[in-house]
Each structure stands twice: as C-alpha cells, then as structure tokens.
C-alpha cells in the first residue's frame, strides 16, 4: 500500500488533514486522531516504507531524532505528562494497523489505564547464547 491508498502518504503530501507538530527533512510528526492521552503524536517518514526495517539508515535516524524532539516538547509543555512511551508496531503479529512505518510518542499519567501485560520467559544461558549466535551470524551476512 502506498501513495493514494496510504493515509500517512496523503498527510505527507498535504492531501489529508493533520495537526502538524514538527518536521525534519525526512519525517513528519502530527497528532493522531485516536489519542491515548492528550498530545499523542505519530512520527512518520515522508517516503512510504511499510515498517521500521524498510527505512534507510538515514530515515531511521531522522525518525528517532524527531521522536526525541516531540518527547522533549511533551515534557516541557503544559500538557499532562508524568512519563512517556515510544511505541512502534511492525507487522500484523505486532498489531500494526497502518502499514506505513510510524512511531507513537505519547505522554503517560500514573493512573491512565494503559497496560502491557506479558509473561516473560526466562530461558537458560545456553539458550540465550544460541540465539545470540544466530543473530550474530545474520548480522555478519547482512554486513
């Protein structure tokens, strides 16, 4: 999905409405229409890229830098902000619903009701070492 069918591409092109927060050469930050808390901002690359791993290193860097600027602005603003979450979902299994890479930057409040409940497994050191070896091998192949 890209161009005409992607709402984020339409926003970047100025063809769909958005409440702009900030921008840099490679990315745009705007308020989401479905905020978890007031100030909930999305940071997207200007170029259509479905997921984080589809970004160029320069785009990934620009996305993180703009996300940090938005986070700092939330902390310095008069908006309620006791903490922050950065959230990026990549792929259907990770609950991505708009397939244009985007980082959620949203303020948190102590009792705002947001929960992530997981049961973290505790693999053995041998299992961890095996996984680390597989990742190192994949990194060497992609270098």
Cα–Cα distance between 74 and 109 in angstroms, integer? 12
pLDDT range class, residue 3, cuts 50, 70, 90: low
Cα–Cα distance between 140 and 143 in angstroms, integer? 5
| CATH value of 3-114 in 3.30.70.260, 3.30.428.10, 3.40.190.10, 3.60.150.10 | 3.30.428.10
Catalytic residues: 102
- CA–centroid distance for 140 within its chain: 26
Q: Please, what is the average pLDDT of the chain?
A: 95
Q: What is the pLDDT of residues 17-67, one digit of tens each?
A: 999 999 999 999 999 999 999 999 999 999 999 999 999 999 999 999 999
Give the pLDDT confidence score for residue 47 in this predicted structure: 98
Cα–Cα distance between 105 and 87 in angstroms, integer? 7
Give the pLDDT confidence score for residue 101 in this predicted structure: 98
Give the pLDDT confidence score for residue 45 in this predicted structure: 98
Give the pLDDT confidence score for residue 142 in this predicted structure: 87
SS3 55: coil
């Amino acid at each position: 999905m890209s161009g005409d069918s992607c709402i984020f591409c339409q926003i970047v092109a100025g063809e769909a409405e958005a409440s702009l927060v900030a921008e840099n050469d490679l990315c745009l930050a705007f308020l989401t229409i479905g905020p978890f808390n007031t100030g909930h901002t999305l940071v997207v690359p200007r170029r259509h890229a479905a997921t984080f791993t589809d970004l160029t290193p320069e785009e990934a860097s620009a996305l993180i830098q703009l996300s940090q600027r938005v986070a700092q602005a939330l902390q310095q603003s008069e908006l309620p902000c006791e903490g922050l979450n950065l959230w990026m979902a990549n792929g259907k299994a990770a609950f991505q619903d708009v397939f244009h890479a985007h980082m959620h930057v949203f303020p948190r409040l102590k009792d705002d009701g947001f929960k992530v409940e997981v049961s973290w497994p505790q693999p053995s050191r041998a299992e961890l070492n095996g996984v680390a070896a597989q990742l190192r091998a994949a990194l060497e192949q992609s270098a």
